[in-house]
Amino acid sequence: MRSLTLAEARERSSLITITSYAVELDLDQGAEVFGSHTTARFTCAEPGAETWVDLKAHSVETVSLNGEPIDPDRVSDGRLALSGLAADNELVVAATMAYSHDGQGLHRATDPADDLDYVYGHLFLDAAPSVFACFDQPDLKAPYDVTVRAPLDWTVIGNGAATRTAPGTWVLATTKPLATYFVTVCAGPYVSVRDEHDGIPLGIHARASLREPLERHAAELFDVTKRSFDYFHGLFGIRYPFGEYHQVFVPEFNAGAMENPGCVTFRDQYLYRGAATRDELLTRANTVSHEMSHMWFGDIVTMRWWDDLWLNESFAEYMSHRALVDATEYTDAWVDSSIVRKVWGYGAERSPSTHPVAGVEALDAQSALQNFDGISYAKGAATLRQLIAYVGDDPFIAGVRAYLTDKSYGNGTLADFLGAIETASGKDLEAWSRAWLLTADRDTLSVDLEEQGGVVESAVVRRESPADRPADRPHAFDVAGWTDGREVARASVTVTGPETTLAGLEGTPEPAVVVPNASDLTWARVRLSDSTVAALPSQLAQVPDAQARAVVWSALIDGVHGATVSPDTFLDVFDASWPHESNSSILTRVAAYAEHRVVPWFVPRPAQDDALDRLNRAGSGLLERSGAGTTESLAAARLVAGTSDDAVLLRAWADGHGLPAGLEEDGDFRWIVVRNLASRGLVGADEIEAFRAKDDTLQGSLNALMCRASLPEADAKAWAWQQLTGREGRSNYEMIHLARGFWAAPDDDLVADYVSRYFTDVPAMSGWVGEDALSRVVLVAFPKVFTDETARLSARAISRDDLTPAVRRSLVDADAELREALASRATFGAAV
């Protein structure tokens, strides 16, 4: 279906104003379809003019405009033309809609644990017309009255407080003006935990089979929720205006969460069934705070058009980390950002698809989705930190308050936001925004030291701007140095040119390790000196500053991807430093990166077994000396479970024998072991099914699919490929898990024939899979056969003119990662 263009959106918003929506949903019509009845009231600035309403229905029963019937067959390509508009209009549409299974629209999922069905709405971007007739663009906001008919044993939750007015009938309170993409309804036999804070009713909800983890994690979730409310109330000076605040953990969710006012939806993997590391709890707390900050920035004030969507996400990314550090126990949230979010963002910046943070005009709605990436989130947040360094924190918050107050329940633009900051700070931001927001790519920061007799004689920071995307970005950051665990130097600096003298380092002892951007205050490629890299195996574990250690690991990862750091060097540092790491985020994320990216992508196949053995030895050593049930023990056990080739150990763990303390009943941990066994051919499909029967849940079924796809057998690969790329009715999550397992193989020959098939079969799935879900499948399913032939086929596929925007963008990004792997192997393969 055609995507709304910016020109069309501007024309329609200049013509009409939406007064209200009344939406009635009948969710008691079976598992495939639901009834949708919409009454939309709107005014028209030019009576007699024409426009259209967006409608993506299974069937349309009746339509009337101002009491006059309209032929339902006039719906074409997701649009229903409306002509002869009056000054005041009432549009009534009765339709039947189809549930989705790809995480977009009104998604319906069956929990195999009890065969109960759950529904949730994810109307992001352009999915709202598949739920109700609407004028689907972010600047046409209106209040909603929603009524839901549902099976008698279902609970209904939505943007407004839900009241059961009769058996199976629920009425939701009238909302504040909302953009169409914020509307949601969650319905099913959800279980709930409720509380209240500062006059705000709170609810947390999940599938019935997740009652135990829901109740176990409720106190922590409520604590973060309450602390975030208090923090944002104080910071923004505006009380939360959307009534009740519900957080619903829903199945098969495409993203981490969605900031629907009053009814935030989360992926239900955040309700950890088994053991959770501290950084996993931090990640969840960050997501809770992130979505709450959107209640102000995004929900009270919404961007006018999708090309300013980055501002919502950058703001929430920054504010959630700030709130965790200032108001919760997770005071190391910025360390987590360095090793998780910024590593993701730097990857997006390395790709040919890199783009400026702002100023990329999205000519249609689907184009906007392509820039919804680590640049919009992580780089945007880092840019806001630099903006604060430039204007000051107090003027920044004053500007934010003014922007939110002035634009409440309406729409804003980047120009509006920057104008508010300029007024509050008295500083002109034109040059700053041109360099930081309107120019893609990043600078490279490095430090050159000259020493005499072990004392620093001169120190210079070098800032290199990309030659093909030059910019004059000011950077405020610090440089620090350590020797044998002792900080011997630290200096703050604002860099405004190619070279800046670091007078603060002159006369200090020469450090063994020098870290530019040690507190990770700016966005840049950090180039470590050769002497620092050489010293890391003996020095990094002794550096007491977790933030600086995260910056070093991020720089090493960046270097591996850029073929400036060999994977062997990375593994040398891992061997020496990782077993002594005390920060949970660094510990777990670096281990996962080593196992799932560095070894399989950058280490040549003949050397991969030895590399995995190095990881296994590191994990085993840490496991032996870690306290039972600690993050260290869990991280080490997971690494051993994924890398060990000890069939006796793996089979014992899979059967529940000799497990590390705290993992005796952990089904998710068992699946790590089973996947390892499956990929080595040490279990078969029947045994995988037996393990699934022990974990007869949604997550257990997904893991079983991944393990079956991992089996090193031709028949297993053929089956998995058909399930993945055929019209087999698989959900978005099922496709992702099949893709995760498929390319596991003892050698490339087993899956070589599927490389060319990928470039035809997967793009063709756009005929029945939504763009959001398919973009993820394209990335995960991209061939893990790292050859020049794969690169040739990939380049040819990207040049096709029939790809959807989401497929093309994901192919470009996956192709870039393939070429990074090829470049690294070509540079360092012989050494490894």
Write down which residue in 623, 645, 667 finishes a domain: 645
Eight-state DSSP code of residue 528: -
Task: Report the C-alpha gap between 529 and 30 in whole angstroms.
Answer: 64
For residue 306, name the pLDDT band (cuts at 50, 70, 90).
Answer: very high
Residue 372's pLDDT is what?
81
Tell me the CB-side half-sphere exposure of residue 168, using CA atoms within 13 A. Answer: 9
Are both 466 and 365 inside the same structural domain?
no
Q: Mark 494-529 as b/e (b = at least 16 C-beta within 10 Å).
A: ebeeeebebebbbebebbbbbbbbbbbbbbbbbbbe
Look up residue 164 and give its amino acid. R
Are both 362 and 346 inside the same structural domain?
yes
Taking Cα atoms as reference points, which of 317, 222, 360, 207 lies closest to residue 269? Answer: 207
Which residue is associated with the tokens 């379809």? 33
Task: Report the C-alpha gap between 507 and 529 in whole angstroms.
Answer: 19
Residue 501's pLDDT is what?
96
The residues near 764 (Cβ < 8 Å, ≥ 6 apart) are 725
Write down which residue in 645, 670, 685 finishes a domain: 645
Return the structure tokens found at 447. Answer: 């430090």
By annotation, the residues acting in catalysis are: 291
DSSP codes, 172-205: EPPPSPB-GGG--EEEES-EEEEEEETTEEEEEE
Task: Report the C-alpha gap between 256 and 264 in whole angstroms.
Answer: 11
Considering the domain boundaries, does residue 697 fall inside one?
Answer: no
Task: Report the C-alpha gap between 152 and 72 in whole angstroms.
Answer: 32
Report CA-CA distances (Å) from 293 to 250, 288, 335, 396, 701.
20, 9, 20, 16, 34
- Per DSSP, the three-state class of 637 is helix
Are both 142 and 30 inside the same structural domain?
yes
- Per DSSP, the three-state class of 121 is strand
Length of the chain: 832
Residue 430's pLDDT is what?
96
3-state secondary structure 454-484: CEEEEEEEEEECCCCCCCCCCEEEEEEEEEC
Please check whether residue 673 is in contact with residue 653, taking contact to mean a CB–CB distance below 8 angstroms: yes
Report CA-CA distances (Å) from 244 to 112, 547, 613, 638, 729.
31, 37, 52, 39, 36
Eight-state DSSP code of residue 307: G
Task: Report the C-alpha gap between 100 and 97 in whole angstroms.
Answer: 9
Considering the domain boundaries, does residue 422 fall inside one?
Answer: yes
Considering the domain boundaries, does residue 463 fall inside one?
Answer: yes
| CATH number of the domain within which 358 lies | 1.10.390.10
Are both 395 and 308 inside the same structural domain?
yes
Considering the domain boundaries, does residue 280 fall inside one?
Answer: no
Considering the domain boundaries, does residue 30 fall inside one?
Answer: yes
Residue 365's pLDDT is what?
84
Residue 832's pLDDT is what?
60
Are both 369 and 316 inside the same structural domain?
yes
Eight-state DSSP code of residue 269: G
Residue 364's pLDDT is what?
86
Mean pLDDT of the chain: 96
Please check whether residue 386 is in contact with residue 326, taking contact to mean a CB–CB distance below 8 angstroms: no
Return the structure tokens found at 500. Answer: 């800046």
Which residue is associated with the tokens 């960046």? 558
Give, in degrees to the nearest 5, the angle at Cα 775 between 246 and 767.
105
Are both 460 and 551 inside the same structural domain?
no
Are both 637 and 766 inside the same structural domain?
no
Kindly give the interhelix angle for 698-710 and 714-725, rounded to the nearest 10 degrees. Answer: 130
User: How many other C-beta atoms are found inside a 10 Å radius of the C-beta of residue 81?
Assistant: 12
Which residue is associated with the tokens 């050159």? 448
Count of domains observed in the chain: 5
- The string of pLDDT tens digits covering residues 135-159 is 999 999 999 999 999 999 999 999 9
Considering the domain boundaries, does residue 577 fall inside one?
Answer: yes
Report CA-CA distances (Å) from 68 to 21, 64, 82, 199, 416.
19, 5, 11, 46, 41
Could you give the percent of the chain with pLDDT greater than 90? 96
User: How many other C-beta atoms are found inside a 10 Å radius of the C-beta of residue 115?
Assistant: 7
Domain encompassing residue 459: 445-522
Are both 410 and 536 inside the same structural domain?
no
Are both 337 and 385 inside the same structural domain?
yes
Considering the domain boundaries, does residue 26 fall inside one?
Answer: yes
Look up residue 790 and give its amino acid. T
Please check whether residue 412 is in contact with residue 315, taking contact to mean a CB–CB distance below 8 angstroms: no
Eight-state DSSP code of residue 5: B
- The string of pLDDT tens digits covering residues 787-826 is 999 999 999 999 999 999 889 999 999 999 999 999 999 9
Are both 390 and 461 inside the same structural domain?
no
DSSP codes, 340-406: IIHHHHHHHHHSTT---SS----SBHHHHHTT-SHIIIIIHHHHHHHHHHHH-HHHHHHHHHHHHHH
DSSP codes, 612-627: HHHHHHHHHHHHHHSP
**Cross-strand pairs, 54:** 79, 134
Residue 1's pLDDT is what?
67
Are both 401 and 481 inside the same structural domain?
no
Please check whether residue 577 is in contact with residue 536, taking contact to mean a CB–CB distance below 8 angstroms: yes
Write down which residue in 158, 189, 220 finishes a domain: 189
Considering the domain boundaries, does residue 253 fall inside one?
Answer: no
| CATH number of the domain within which 90 lies | 2.60.40.1730
Mean pLDDT of 520-539: 98
- The string of pLDDT tens digits covering residues 351-384 is 999 999 998 778 888 877 777 899 999 999 999 9
- Is the pTM higher than 0.75? yes
Look up residue 227 and give its amino acid. R
Kindly give the interhelix angle for 546-561 and 805-828, rounded to the nearest 10 degrees. Answer: 90
Which residue is associated with the tokens 């504010």? 319
Residue 361's pLDDT is what?
77
Eight-state DSSP code of residue 530: H
- Per DSSP, the three-state class of 755 is helix
| Strand-pair category, 513-516 with 499-501 | unpaired
Given a cut of 90, whether residue 829 has pLDDT beyond it is: no
Are both 518 and 528 inside the same structural domain?
no
Give, in degrees to the nearest 5, the angle at Cα 246 between 275 and 329.
45
The residues near 216 (Cβ < 8 Å, ≥ 6 apart) are none
For residue 181, name the pLDDT band (cuts at 50, 70, 90).
Answer: very high
